[in-house]
Structures are given as C-alpha cells and as structure tokens.
Amino acid sequence: MTAGGTATYRRIGVIGGGAWGTALALAALRAGREALLWAREPAVVESINTAHENRDYLPGVTLPPELRATGDLAEIGACDAILLVTPAQHLRSGCRQLAPHLRAGVPVVICAKGIELDSFALMSEAAEVELPAGTPIAVLSGPTFAAEVARGLPTAVTLACADTAIGAALVEALGSRTFRPYLSDDVVGSQIGGAVKNVLAIACGVVEGRKLGDNARAALITRGLAEITRLALALGGRAETLMGLSGLGDLTLTCSSLQSRNMSLGAALGQGRTLADILAERRSVAEGVYTAAAVVGLARKKGVDMPLCAAVDAILNRGADLDETIAGLLARPFRGEGN
C-alpha cells in the first residue's frame, strides 16, 4: 500500500510457525499492524487459532486473538510485507513455494540466520534466485531471544535493506517502544554477523562445558568477531556493521547465555555428550550445526582464515577429538592482534 508516495505496510505476513516467527508476529501486532502467521504443521495452526498459544514452540505465552494462523500461503501472499522465518537450510524452498503467491513490490524480510550448505549462498542470494525479479529484499538480524521478544521485553535489531526508503517503511511498520529496528543498507554484513555467531556460540558452549573459564570465552568472542569481520569484508560488507547489533550485539548475546540453542548444544558437547544424542532430544533447530561447514567452505573459497569456525566444523562434521582440537588452537603461532 502507498500513502503520499511512501510505502506503508499494514498487513504483515510471517512464514514460519516456530518460536521466532510467533514472536515476530507479536512484535508486528504491538507496532499496530495486522499479523498473519503461516505454519507448516496443522497442529500449530489449530493451537494458535483455538487455544491462543503456540504449545509446540512457545509454550506458556498467551497469544492475543488478533493473531491468526494459516496453512495457506495464498493468504500470506495477500499481505503488504512478508517476514521469512524458515530455518536457513529451507529458506530457498520456502521462497520457491511463496513465489507464485507474491504480489509485485511486496518486500520480503529474511529473518533466518545462516549460509546455505550446498551452495555457500547467503540467504539474500538464495531468495533473489527463487523470488520474482524485482522483489524488494531486506534482512532482520540482531541480538534476539524469541521468548523475550514474545514477552515484550526491550529488544533492538538491525533491519538492512539496499533500498533505504523501503527499509525505513519496514522500520516504521515493525518498530515499537520495545522492539527497536535500526536501519542499515549493508545487507551482506548484517547476514554474516548473524550466521557466523551461531558457529562461535557452539564454541563458547564447549568452553562452558569444559570449564575453561570466562577469560577463554571472552577471548573466543573477541577473536571470533575478527573472523566474522574478515569474512564480511571479503564478501563486500562493512566493518562498522559488525560493530553493531547484527555483529557484536548478536555475538555477545548468543555466546553469553545457555538460553541460546547453539551455546547450550556446545555446552553439552563440552560435557562429553554426542552430537547425535543432543539433536535427537531437540525439536528446535540449532543453526550453527548446519552453518559451520558452510562458513568454512565459503571462507576457503574466499581465502579467509577462520580457525575457530574450522575447529567447530571439525568437531561437528569430521569426527575431530574435542581436547585435541582445543590443544591445536592453543598451539597456534602468536600473531599481531590485527591479523
């Protein structure tokens, strides 16, 4: 919709009925918008519409009757703006299913954090291939725990869009007193921060599980930020973006709390549990498990040194011994801090 030449987005469609999708739908309602949530599972749709609770993914949070769920993508396609909250490795297929229902000019906001495993594509690159030509694409990233957003606790995020007018309209549509988007035009940098921090959070969890101390965790966060920045620069992102919410902010949150799915997974690994056992008891996705190999592959393709991410990938996907991997990192040659 337009008013006075400026886009306005009153009906917000959210694709993804997990905790984060539900929390973002609540954020849109608090911003004074209509919100429609698409979920793949009929049981989730039924639970939201009749019990006003997402019992499977966000139990204990009462949802307002104004939040309606659907299993029909055509209904989502009729919205003014769409938030894409699918798991990162399924984002491409989600875009492909959405494309026939998408009206021209409707912006799609990517809210998934990851890098595609098979192609090493960023989420925006995968979306551009599958969505109709000319579809405006934005990225929402930053330090967010879904449960806190759902409860209306204060949260700040980055909203990145190459078209700053569309980006500003999206900020206006989603922003409220407790959900505060900060506008950026660095779509690449905003995605790299959100993707790689999940891998580093697993490493910080291992530090916690192995009781290596707070000094080690602080060092890992700092050197991990250097890895994120190197990769973002190699892909055309900006260093200052990584000093903001989608970089340092997201990294700090995810690497400092066992509320993080990725950090808690790493902690369990550090305590000696197997990855297969950890994943078998979880319903929600720890994106870092799948992103680790993609980050390492993309870094190798771009000639970027990312030893911490490579260590996580080796532990998760290559059968590397945990203690030997830690010892290998600690035996690396000393170097200048800017390297």
H-assigned helices in 49-145:
73-77, 91-98, 123-130
Per DSSP, the residues of 182-217 read EEES-HHHHHHHHHHHHHHHHHHHHHHHTT--HHHH
* Same-domain check for residues 222 and 160: no
* Same-domain check for residues 48 and 99: yes
Residue showing tokens 């608090």: 30
CB within 8 A of 24, min separation 6: which ones?
A: 14, 83, 85, 111, 140, 149, 174
In a domain, 257, yes or no: yes
Q: CATH no. for residue 146?
A: 3.40.50.720
Whole-angstrom distance, CA of residue 225 vs CA of residue 283? 29
pTM more than 0.85: yes
Domain finish residue from 159, 185, 211:
185
* Same-domain check for residues 149 and 14: yes
In a domain, 339, yes or no: no
* Same-domain check for residues 170 and 243: no
* Same-domain check for residues 199 and 310: yes
Which of 238, 227, 237 is closest to 304 using CA atoms? 227
Other Cβ atoms less than 10 A from the Cβ of 327: the count is: 10
* Same-domain check for residues 211 and 127: no
Helix axes 307-317, 322-330, angle to 10 degrees: 170
What is the reported pLDDT for 338? Answer: 81
Annotated catalytic residues are 197
What is the reported pLDDT for 6? Answer: 53
In a domain, 77, yes or no: yes
What is the reported pLDDT for 1? Answer: 46
Residue showing tokens 């990517």: 110
Q: Are 70 and 36 in contact (CB under 8 A)?
A: yes
* Same-domain check for residues 201 and 167: no
* Same-domain check for residues 180 and 205: no
Domain finish residue from 153, 185, 217:
185
What is the reported pLDDT for 284? Answer: 79
Which of 221, 196, 198, 203 is closest to 322 using CA atoms? 203
Other Cβ atoms less than 10 A from the Cβ of 17: the count is: 28
Q: Which residue segment(s) compose the domain that 276 sits in?
A: 192-330
* Same-domain check for residues 28 and 177: yes
If one counts the domains in the chain, the total is 2
* Same-domain check for residues 67 and 10: yes
Q: Which segments of the chain have a pLDDT < 50?
A: 1-5
Whole-angstrom distance, CA of residue 158 vs CA of residue 148? 17
What is the reported pLDDT for 2? Answer: 44
* Same-domain check for residues 59 and 167: yes
* Same-domain check for residues 198 and 148: no
Q: What does the radius of gyration of the chain's CA atoms come to, in whole angstroms?
A: 20
In a domain, 132, yes or no: yes
Q: CATH no. for residue 318?
A: 1.10.1040.10
SS3 of 241-304: the string is HHCCHHHHHHHHHHCCCCCCHHHHHHHHHHCCCCHHHHHHCCCCCCHHHHHHHHHHHHHHHHCC
Whole-angstrom distance, CA of residue 48 vs CA of residue 54? 5
Q: Are 2 and 129 in contact (CB under 8 A)?
A: no
Domain finish residue from 158, 185, 212:
185
